[in-house]
Amino acid sequence: QAATKIQELCPNSSSAIIWLDRCQLRYSDVNFAGMVDVYDRACQGGLGDSSSPANFNQSLRILISNLTSQATQSSSSRFFAAGVSVVGESQRIYAMVQCVRDIPVDRCKWCLDNAGSNIEGCFNGKQGGRILTGSCNLAFGAQPFFFGDPTVVSLPQTNH
């Protein structure tokens, strides 16, 4: 499906990238193996407003930061982490971060940090979305969207 779609959308391009659910396809006439790409970026989603955007944004930043650390903690890293945290009384945030496996772990961390720094600009208090780049992606939402059991990430208590 991705190959057909990219040919339809970019029939004469020497390079292109497309993101579909659970799939990324990229080609180029330039060797991009091992190169970090944060410039080909898409923000998708922005579903539903949080009842407390400031608290939601803060909790999401902490969750993404913790998941980035988990995904990049060593050279034998999985380049992937998923987790869930609770905002306020009961609102849950499910999130995942992921990098392509042909970049060094420190560049994976840099890519995820860069993507994470764009969350508020793309979504500001929305309850779901994805930031997709050529080398890494992150996703979050109020409902589970990934397979397996997420890691429960404890957030610091706030007095709001």
List of domains in the chain:
1-30 (no CATH), 36-152 (3.30.430.20)
What is the overall mean pLDDT for the chain?
A: 85
The 8-class DSSP code of residue 1 comes to: -
Distance CA 47, CA 153 (A): 22
Place of tokens 């779901």: 128
For residue range 28-41, what is the model confidence (pLDDT) as tens digits?
888 888 888 888 88
Q: Are 155 and 88 in contact (CB under 8 A)?
A: no
Q: What is the pLDDT of residue 88?
A: 77
The pLDDT > 90 percentage for the chain reads 39
Q: What is the pLDDT of residue 159?
A: 45
Of the listed ranges 17-26, 53-62, 120-129, the one predicted with least confidence: 17-26
For residue range 69-102, what is the model confidence (pLDDT) as tens digits?
999 987 667 899 999 998 877 788 999 999 999 9
Helical (H) or strand (E) element with 71: helix 53-71
Across residues 34-60, what is the average pLDDT? 85
Across residues 52-71, what is the average pLDDT? 91
Residue 157 has pLDDT above 50, yes or no: no
